[in-house]
Amino acid sequence: MTVPIRAQQRAADLRAQLNQHNYHYYVLDDPIISDAEYDRLLRELQELESEYIELVTADSPTQRVGAEPLLSFEEVKHNVPMLSLSNAFEENEVITFDRRIRERVDVDVVEYVAEPKVDGLAISLLYERGVLVRGATRGDGMTGEDVTQNVKTIRSIPLRLLGKQYPRLIEVRGEVFMTHKGFLALNKRQSSAGLKQFVNPRNAAAGSLRQLDPRLTAQRPLQMFCYALGEVDDGDMPESQYALLQQLRGWGLAVSPLVELVEGVEQCLAYYHGMVEKRQSLTYPIDGIVYKVNDLSLQQSLGFVSRAPRWALAHKFPAQEETTLVKAIEVQVGRTGAITPVARLEPVFVGGVTVSNATLHNRAEIERLDLRVGDTVVVRRAGDVIPEVVKVIGKRRPRAAKGFQFPTRCPVCHSEIVYEGGEGIIARCSGGLYCSAQRKEHLKHFASRKAMDIDGLGDKIIDQLVETGMVQDIADLYSLTVAQLAGLDRLAEKSAQNLVAALERSKQTTLHRFLFALGISQVGETTARQLTDHYGSLESIMNATENDLQSVTDIGPIVATNIYTFFRQSHNKQVIRKLRRRGVMWPETGIIKKDVSKLPLSGKTIVLTGILSAMPRNEAKARLQDLGAKVAGSVSSKTDYVIVGAEPGSKAIKAAQLGVEVLDETQFLKLLSKLGPR
């Protein structure tokens, strides 16, 4: 197909715009368009490339994610070795380093470039004619691993260098890392999914970059700072380290904004102490300072010793780990009902602060550590933020050390604790409507637009209602008066009247909205609607057994347990009765459960993946359900068929691994026409 000139020009323009916006966002930290506008430009380019496949280029912003998972990483030989740095832990070692350099080059004062030593994973980027062609890990310095497809998912790494004045071939080196905020968010997602949590941001960055499936790497919040060059061919380069870093920035590569030129050892040490002070406020982890001789010709003359350059030094920060005693193990109830074990410690100074508590994440972590009260443990500030127990020093365990039994009931409201996630390691309080630890979050959810839609009941008002004791549970909302509300801070009488009116309107609702508003763990809008369609009344849902609940579409054993346990709690049933007495109502549908046993796909579990051209995914799902099938969201050995459309995801790969029968769209449509009318 001949691509119109206009389409070619527009695609080139869009690529240039998107690359420029990435530069402003990741390198200059000065975005010039909104995220929504950026997404619109990206979608337009995706549509153009979809229509004209010839427009797709290796450096297109659309090509960051999409490669198939690898079976293994290929080896990469570094033509210029990626050497390590010599370390200094004391100031006199830095003074000695400076003295030796001055003596070797016979100068009075040496100019250095000082920058934070980011705690991440060293990486090499190879550009040919400005286009990224390879990404590789450091490995042992001589041989690394090819992680090109993963590197392409990191948005702070340009797929094409900016400008035109760059060498024909250039190898850029730097550090891939994860911010503290990104690390905490990732571990939260890992915990919610019942997956292993990462120990610190560095391990998280390294593990993310070495995923065989680039799509998983793309979901991880990775960034990169560049700091050096390796191989260079056919190009003029700056004469100083500082100028080199500015040139890298000019080509669109991110460089630490904290880089400084310093003169002499006194300024090196002053920079170090300044960074010790700033360290806790930085958004990313650093574990020291790197000093490099600024003059590149001096670097060359100084050369190397063993496997480290003579012209550079890493001045490491004090250790971030200490040992202390575990005095007790307790559990805390989070705002969403999550039960988290916490170690109470003999206070110890770690990473600049005194630590007396440390998270233990979940009961599986306690079992992995084999942690007991009375143990001597190593404590670390994970990402310099959250203190955690790294390991138990078994040789120092006293005979009286006591094991910890995870509670079966919430320590706040005494409701039953249920377990979710992989292998049931996530503990959660089931007394959602009653538990005071969860009160604010449940009120916010209950009032949200897709739940009871109580207009005007915002976070600040909810905070005041809970803190003043006016609302003990969600049913108390419907006994509030204008006089009570008008007494709250920043709530005038007119606003109070409007809020009471909104509460009154919200009493007329639907069963699926009400179910969603209750905040049962893992019961979203779709599940609430499916429960309503299946049972037709709240009483039927409340009286259903766990096995019975699993007959509802898309409800598996974990969600069934959550629903069953929630309605078994007397506190929750009491709150629901109060809501009904105070006028919350909905039309009962009186639906009689379908007898699906005689339908042609009864007992079959089917998974959909990819893009279907003949119908939207939700229509395909509904058609299958009408034929009696259970449409699941993930592939397992119990799956009967996987229906694959265009651009399928990892579900198709898993189906092949498990030997599950795969149907393409043509076969799927034939199945539908054979088994039932449209």
The pLDDT tens digits of the residues spanning 231-247 come to 898 777 889 999 999 99
- State the pLDDT at residue 363: 83
Extract the tokens encoding 647: 């651009």
End-to-end alpha carbon distance in the chain: 36
Do residues 577 and 546 both lie within one domain?
Answer: yes
Q: What is the mean pLDDT of residues 531-544?
A: 90
Residue-wise DSSP of 476-525:
GGGG--HHHHHTSTT--HHHHHHHHHHHHHHTB--HHHHHHHTT-TT--H
Check residue 479 and give its pLDDT.
94
Bigger pLDDT: 651 or 537? 537
Residues belonging to the chain: 678
The CA distances from residue 569 to 108, 406, 435, 573, in Å, are 78, 20, 11, 6
The reply to whether 117 belongs to the active site is: yes
CATH number (domain holding residue 453): 1.10.150.20
Q: Using pLDDT thresholds of 50, 70 and 90, give the confidence band for residue 592.
A: very low
Output the pLDDT for position 629: 82
**Residue 593 has what pLDDT?**
47
Q: What are phi and psi of 330, to 5 degrees?
A: -130, 170
CA distance 444 to 440: 6
Residue 566 structure tokens: 């929630």
CB 400 within 8 A of CB 325: no
Question: Where does a domain end: 341, 363, 396?
Answer: 396
- The answer on 152 and 113 residing in a single domain is yes
Domain membership of residue 390 (yes or no) is: yes
- Indicate whether 428 belongs to any domain: no
Statement to judge: residues 278 and 187 lie in one domain: yes
Better-predicted residue by pLDDT, 636 or 351: 636
366 touches 329 (CB < 8 A): yes
pLDDT the model gives residue 542: 93
**Does 489 share its domain with 362?**
no
Other beta carbons within 10 Å of 402: 13
Residues 446 and 567 in one domain: yes
**5-22 vs 35-51: helix crossing angle, rounded to 10:** 150
Among 128, 226, 233, which Cα is nearest to 173's? Answer: 226
**Tens-place pLDDT, residues 325-351:** 999 999 988 867 888 899 999 998 876
Which whole number is the average pLDDT over 154-180?
A: 90
Mean predicted lDDT score pLDDT of the chain = 85
Cα 138 to Cα 70, 135, 143, 151, 606, distances in angstroms: 19, 10, 7, 13, 44
Q: Can you tell me the distance from the alpha carbon of 62 to that of 78, in angstroms, rounded to the nearest whole number?
A: 29
554 shares a domain with 480 = yes
Tell me, yes or no, whether 286 lies in a domain. Answer: yes
Q: Is residue 327 part of a domain?
A: yes
Per-residue model confidence (pLDDT) at position 591:
44
Q: Domain total for the chain?
A: 5
pLDDT given at position 383: 44
Position 126 scores a pLDDT of: 94
> 306 — phi, psi (to 5°)?
55, -115
159-173, 450-464, 564-578, 604-618: least confident range? 604-618
Higher pLDDT, 446 or 196: 446
Q: Are residues 454 and 552 in the same domain?
A: yes
Question: Would residue 345 count as lying in a domain?
Answer: yes
Domain containing residue 223: 87-316
| Whether 222 and 312 share a structural domain | yes
Q: Model-level pTM?
A: 0.49
Tell me how many helices (H) and strands (E) the chain has: 24, 24
Q: How many other CB atoms are there within 10 angstroms of residue 553's CB atom?
A: 18
More confident residue, 319 or 171: 171
pLDDT digits (tens, 9 = 90+) for 183-198: 888 888 887 777 777 7
Find the catalytic residue in 77, 117, 188, 573.
117
Contact 512, 491 (CB under 8 A): no
Domain containing 27 — which CATH number? 1.10.287.610
> What single string gives the DSSP state of each residue in 620-653?
HHHHHHHTT-EEESS--TT--EEEE-BS--HHHH
| Beta carbons of 292 and 256 less than 8 angstroms apart | no
Instruction: Name the burial class of residue 97, with classes exposed (0-12), middle (13-18) and buried (19+) by CB atoms within 10 angstroms of its CB.
Output: buried
Percent of the chain with pLDDT over 70: 92
pLDDT, average across residues 593-600 = 63
CA distance 162 to 23: 9
In this predicted model, what pLDDT tens digit does every residue of 465-494 receive, in sequence order?
Answer: 988 999 998 999 999 999 999 988 878 889
Q: Give how far Cα 505 sits from Cα of 70, 249, 444, 482, 509, Å.
A: 56, 57, 17, 15, 9
Query: At which of 295, 316, 337 does a domain end?
Result: 316
Domain boundary among 343, 376, 396: 396
CA distance 200 to 203: 6
Q: Report the range out of 35-44, 101-110, 332-341 with the highest average pLDDT.
A: 101-110
Domain-embedded: residue 587: no
Residues 271 and 352 in one domain: no
User: Is 604 in the same domain as 577?
Assistant: no
Provide the pairing of β-strand 169-178 with 321-333.
unpaired
Instruction: Report whether pLDDT(319) > 80.
Output: no
Specify the range with the lowest mean pLDDT, choosing from 80-84, 144-148, 235-239, 614-618: 614-618
Tell me: do 665 and 605 sit in the same domain: yes
Q: Are 415 and 569 in contact (CB under 8 A)?
A: yes
What tens digit of pLDDT does each residue of 266-302 get?
Answer: 999 999 999 988 887 898 989 899 999 999 999 988 9
Pair (259, 147) in one structural domain? yes
For residue 80, tell me if it sits in a domain: no
Residue 230 tokens read as 């390796």
Q: What is the 3-state secondary structure (H, E, C) of 485-497?
A: HHCCCCCCHHHHH
Asked if 620 and 599 touch (Cβ cutoff 8 Å), the reply is no
For 638-673, b where at least 16 C-beta lie within 10 A, e where not — what string? ebebbbbbeebeebbebbeeeebebeebeebbebbe
How high is the pLDDT of residue 423? 53
Q: Taking 90 as the threshold, does the pLDDT of residue 618 lie above it?
A: no
Q: Indicate the SS3 state at residue 227.
A: strand
> Is the pLDDT score of 422 beyond 80?
no
Q: Is the pLDDT of residue 375 over 60?
A: yes
Q: What is the pLDDT of residue 165?
A: 83
Angle CA(28)–CA(33)–CA(38) in degrees, nearest 5? 105
Q: Is residue 129 part of a domain?
A: yes
Query: What's the token pair of residue 21?
Result: 């916006």
pLDDT for 461: 92
pLDDT tens for residues 354-364? 889 988 888 88
Q: What is the CATH number of the domain that holds 183?
A: 3.30.470.30
